[in-house]
Amino acid sequence: MLKVQEIREIIRLIDESSINEFTYESNGTKVKLKKSMSGEIVQAAPSKNLVESTLEQPKEESKQTENKAVHIESEETVDEITEVDYDHEIVSPMVGTFYQAPSPESDPYVQKNSVVEEDTIVCIVEAMKLFNEIEAEVTGTIVDILVEDGELVEYGQPLFRVKKN
């Protein structure tokens, strides 16, 4: 099964491309994304193969498995639909460790709903004992923080989502 971060990355790539529909299937799980005219991404119902494979099990076990599969799919749908309300992603310019504050005792640079300007420092990425301050690069409001404090980040990985003013 795909991780939420992997699904978010797929959504971002589809959003930036001319692709209107994307389907990914692995181990009986199917993720189908469609781009509507408004740019909103919607996920289809659970995979037919997943439901069919659960019907071959004993009836009581089949109902539990089928309900669990539907529940997992619906969680991903909620995540994807709520992720559309942003205009820009602040990405990591390097591989390193993400820090929300200048020190463990300090308040974070920004939080959800913080207003930022182009030169506002939003976080630090530590690489090889060098602490690199990352600026917002746009004027807007932070709508989502995508990584946890102390988490390793990759080059180009989205860190924040911003709704431009």
pLDDT, tens digit (0-9, with 9 covering 90-100), for 19-51: 777 787 777 777 777 776 544 444 544 544 444
* Amino acid at the residue 140: G
DSSP state of 129: T
Average pLDDT for 143-150: 93
Which CATH entry fits the domain spanning 88-164: 2.40.50.100, 3.40.50.150, 3.90.660.10, 3.30.530.20? 2.40.50.100
Q: pLDDT at position 84, please?
A: 55
Helix (H, G, I), strand (E, B) or coil at 112: coil
Average pLDDT for 3-12: 77
Element (H, E) at 160: strand 158-164
Please determine, for residue 68, whether its predicted confidence score (pLDDT) is greater than 80. no
What is the distance between the alpha carbons of residues 141 and 114, in angstroms, rounded to a whole number?
Answer: 6
Helix axes 4-16, 59-82, angle to 10 degrees: 50
Give residue limits of the domains in the chain. 4-82, 88-164
pLDDT, tens digit (0-9, with 9 covering 90-100), for 91-112: 999 999 999 999 999 999 999 9
Q: What is the pTM of this model?
A: 0.50
Q: pLDDT at position 165, please?
A: 84
Please determine, for residue 77, whether its predicted confidence score (pLDDT) is greater than 50. no
